[in-house]
Amino acid sequence: MRNGIRRIGEGAEAQIFETSMFGTDVIAKIRQPKAYRIAELDRELRRSRTRKEAKAMLRARNNGVNAPALLALGEYSIYMEKTRGRLLKDAKPGIGIYAKIGSELAKLHDADIAHGDFTPANIMLHGNGVCIIDFGLSDITKSVEDKALDLLLVKRAVKKEEFKALLCSYIKKYEDSRQVLDRLADIERRGRYQTRTLA
Ligand SMILES: Nc1ncnc2c1ncn2[C@@H]1O[C@H](COP(=O)(O)OP(=O)(O)OP(=O)(O)O)[C@@H](O)[C@H]1O
Ligand SMILES: [Mg+2]
């Protein structure tokens, strides 16, 4: 990006722009007002969600997770380093990449960050590795359930053997993985039970 600012996306909560600062490509994530919310509440929600997202992203980086560097923070805006590469959902990488994803998730969970939206739409392939983006639904928490939900989300989104590779490195790198895996099995059992009783 040489000049100006270009809108590259619009999510449920925020608009995403690409721009440049001091010669570096930058992504700006800006939370827009929602007309259906009371104005004061809307500002407070956007402020707190922006802060929460920035905090999780920063904590991830500080704990060695490959996540974009936070460059600047406004009341409703986050300016971050642009990651070069494609989203996992738009690519067909070799199985080896899933071990790297498992290792990033292990680092997140070890730092007590539950990503909250750990899907191929929020994982970028970057060089030979991966970069985790979109901490908009992240929580700083010790919750085993929240961590298990990260695994469940990605399990549902990738192929069996891809998840297996991811899980293998997750288990190797995260000391408390046993508890999370047990909870994942519980959640899946609950899910099956619900489906059976609803049927
Ligand atoms: N640091 C980044 N580098 C490169 N591209 C990015 C970066 N951050 C976001 N993007 C691009 O913008 C898209 C949307 O960003 P993001 O996933 O953070 O928000 P969202 O999912 O639209 O928002 P929300 O979480 O509010 O629903 C990504 O799918 C990706 O293509
Ligand atoms: Mg996203």
- pLDDT higher at 39 or 11: 39
- CB of 57 within 6 A of ligand 1: the answer is no
- CB of 68 within 6 A of ligand 1: the answer is yes
- CB of 31 within 6 A of ligand 1: the answer is no
CB-count burial class (<10 Å; 0-12, 13-18, 19+) for 43: middle
Domains of the chain: 5-81 (3.30.200.20), 86-198 (1.10.510.10)
What local confidence, expressed as pLDDT, does residue 13 receive? 87
What's the average model confidence in pLDDT over 165-187? 98
Nearest CA to ligand 1 atom 31: 87
Distance of CA 178 from the midpoint of ligand 1 (Å): 31
Q: Is the pLDDT of residue 141 over 60?
A: yes
Catalytic residue among 112, 117, 146, 182: 117
Specify the DSSP class assigned to residue 199.
Answer: -
The one-letter amino acid code at 55 reads K
Q: Which ligand is nearest to the CA of 137?
A: 1
Is residue 190 helix, strand or coil?
helix
What local confidence, expressed as pLDDT, does residue 22 receive? 86
Atom of ligand 1 nearest to the CA of 10: 22
> Which residue matches tokens 């030979």?
128
176 is catalytic: no
pLDDT digits (tens, 9 = 90+) for 41-91: 999 999 999 999 999 999 999 999 999 999 999 999 999 999 999 999 999
Cβ(50)–Cβ(76) under 8 Å?
Answer: yes
- Measured at the CA of 159, the angle between CA 153 and CA 163, to 5 degrees, comes to 60
What local confidence, expressed as pLDDT, does residue 3 receive? 65
Q: What span, in angstroms and rounded, lies between the C-alpha atoms of 185 and 175?
A: 18
